[in-house]
A and B are shown apart, each in its own frame.
Chain A
Amino acid sequence: MTHEAAEQQGREPVPPYARLEVIGGATMVAIAALIWFGAINLALGTLPNFGPGALPRVLAILLALAGAGVLIQGLVRPEAAFERFEFALRPTLVIMLAVVLFGLFIRGGNFGLLSTPQLGLCVVGPLTVFIAGCAAPQVNLRQLLVLAFGLTALMLLVFPDLLRLGIPPFPAILQNAIPPSLGRETALRIAYAGYGVLALILYLAFVRPDRRAA
């Protein structure tokens, strides 16, 4: 039976520890343990007036049971033997890096283990786009560069200027150096106009000749 199924799937059976359902079920049990641990100091209360710790504990038990169910299915069900857990590591890490950098440096601050300076959308924006773009299977650096600056210009126009949402546009050092006579709004407009022109120049210099050649 197993042999036939293996041929059908065209794959080798997977050892139990690498099976999809086994890893999935084990993860759920681990999360249940985490919930239990988190609720350990909360009062249980009584049935007519249950405390903050009651429901988390019930949920943790149910989750542990359901997770164990998934795990056992992975060990017992014949089809489960052919489902390997796999995922794309490189693009995932690159995208995570792009988003985390954005979070760490957009306004900066103290994140427990490290404190970071504010770099603002002007710096973080192009960086995020550029790093995220490197997650693609084939990277076209020139196109990506144009996109990085063009897109940041657009974001600066839409979010801080048009929608007036509080997102820091400049690095902290630069922000304090803006002469009061100029004003922040004008500085912002100069910034996105500059980025827009930069993107246009890069496009004309880099991308269009490529297109023509193609």
Chain B
Amino acid sequence: MTDLLQHLQLGFSVVFSFQNLFLCLVGCLVGTLIGVLPGIGPLATIAILMPLTYSADPAGAIIMLAGIYYGAQYGGSTTAILVNMPGESSSVVTALDGHAMARQGRAGKALGIAAIGSFIAGSFATLVVAAVAIPLSRLALGLTAGNYFSLMLLGLTLAIVLGSGSLLKAFCMLLIGVTMALVGADQITGEARLTFGSQVLYDGFDMAVVAMGLFGIAEILRNLGASERQPFVDNVVGGLLPDKQDIKDSAGAIARGSLLGSIIGIIPGNGATLSSFASYVLEKKLSKHPETFGKGAIQGVAGPESANNAAAQTTFVPLLTLGLPSTATMALVGGAMTLHGVVPGPQVIDMHPELFWGVVTSMWLGNLMLVIINLPLIGVWVKFLKVPYHLLFPTIILLCCVGIYSVNSRPTDVLMVAGFGLAGYLLYRLKFDPTPLLLGLVLGGMLEDSLRRGLILSRGSFWTFVSDPLTLVLLGLSAVIVVSALSPSISRGRKVLSEDE
């Protein structure tokens, strides 16, 4: 316990430098700014804004990126509540009761309770992250290459199964992602692989380029393909502070949401979405008046918002302790860390303690900033919601171009963004979700490396490789998950989840 306090103290000493506070603030603000725009979810926001963080030092960059993430998520909820256009699946549930409250003139209260719930859940989740980080990374340090390989396989399996859409298509995306990770110089021989003679591909695919194309530009093409729907925004937001009755009604929901979200977030897969759905269902079951749900029940906003915020935070756990990103967003964060020379994994906590604890405490600080800065600024965000889309998207296009060029000063990066934008849009029209592709791209190199090392150690015998007890258990678990996902009852559940999105 005293250890924990000491670590948090170290973290705060890192965060409370002028530069890092400023980066956290800017991250939260621009994150909210882009996240609040209708149709642009947290993932697209991070993909678009990632280049902005490159000029900071590693700790500062990750702190800013985390700020962008929370800001984007918070902005997404604001849009969901005010205009019923959730930017991403984790705020779909919020839109149900949040928008109902807005139509009753209680939009301010919905926003207020969402912010307060998120803050409480965020504080709780920060403690969870701090508490489980050290034991988990100790555990991870003892793993062999074979263990690691099977652990990655398990994580990827979970991520695919808990995601939405067809399993087979998700598997295709994962395979392409892993293959893309292999493009470029071979880790051992340095030989050019799959470059088709192109000098540009020799350095491999840049995470930022792929993500900005697949999730940023593609998102715009997607919105343009749909007919332009000008969101109707009511000017009446109403009081922001919930009264005593509201607090009494939502206290339980916030507590349960925090706990639920923290647990679900650690498991690979789309934690934020899953936990908000789970929390909504739970609150409806526990409520004495389940009929009010969908008609402006404050618990229906407080629970899911707390849960998805807690989950958003604990999804950092697998990345920071095991080096395994479990969502596309974390894949981006992991990519940014690698770019700054900090390879995510169990060694981070010992080798870069100031970075690790700085990031953990900045999570809490980011949440605090969102409450104190964003609630008073709600009027400004409402104005942004009214910016017509036909002016908005050229702005984002230019921001993407300038941003990606400034990372490496390579014109070919911009051309590749265009290509991946087109690919992302076509994949969307073909109903392929590119999330597993990004996970594969981040993990591919590690996957090959641990497989190779594992096979060298076992002298090429697959049996020795597999017969290590932990490896066997992890591989078995993956197999069980795949089989159960194919079973009728669960695949129906997955279908419901993806249709609700």
Contacts and interface: CB of A to CB of B under 8 A. Distances in A.
B221 A95 contact: yes
Contacts of B426: 87
B460 A137 contact: no
Interface string B396-411: 0111111001100101
A63 B415 CA distance: 26
A96 B425 CA distance: 11
B462 interface: yes
Nearest to B457: A48
B193 A165 contact: no
Contact of A132 (B175, B398, B459): B398
Given A100-B418, A155-B398, A165-B55, A95 B460 contact: no
A113 interface: no
Interface in A1-58: 20, 23-24, 27-28, 31, 35, 38-39, 42, 46-53, 55-56
A81 interface: no
Interface in A118-164: 121, 125, 128-130, 132-133, 135-140, 143-144, 147-148, 151-152, 155, 159, 163-164
Interface string B145-188: 00000000000000000000010110110011011001000101
Given A52-B191, A99-B401, A155-B402, A87 B418 contact: no
B220 interface: yes
B425 A92 contact: yes
A62 interface: yes
Interface stretch (B136-144, B295-303, B386-394): B386-394
Nearest to A94: B224
Given A63-B176, A102-B398, 16 more contacts: A31-B176, A39-B193, A39-B194, A42-B191, A47-B460, A55-B182, A55-B448, A62-B175, A66-B172, A85-B429, A87-B425, A87-B426, A99-B417, A99-B421, A102-B405, A143-B391
Contacts of B411: 103-104, 106-109, 111
Interface stretch (A67-75, A177-185, A189-197, A198-206): A67-75
A160 to B, nearest CB: 9
B432 to A, nearest CB: 6
Interface string B417-456: 1100110011001111000000000000000100110011
Interface residues on B, range: 35 or more
Interface of B: 52, 55, 166, 168-169, 171-172, 175-176, 178-179, 182, 186, 188-189, 191, 193-196, 217, 220-221, 224-225, 227-228, 389-391, 393-395, 397-402, 405-406, 409, 411-415, 417-418, 421-422, 425-426, 429-432, 448, 451-452, 455-456, 458-460, 462
A108 B269 CA distance: 42
Contacts of B390: 133, 136-140
A66 B455 contact: no
B409 A52 contact: no
Nearest to B407: A165
A138 B418 CA distance: 23
A129 B397 contact: yes
Contact of A133 (B172, B191, B225, B391): B391
Contact of B179 (A20, A24, A35, A73): A35
A121 B402 contact: yes
A167 B409 contact: yes
A163 B55 contact: yes
A103 B415 contact: yes
Given A88-B225, A100-B418, A133-B390, A67 B406 contact: no
A143 B394 CA distance: 12
A101 B35 CA distance: 27
Given A31-B176, A107-B409, A70 B425 contact: no
B293 to A, nearest CB: 29
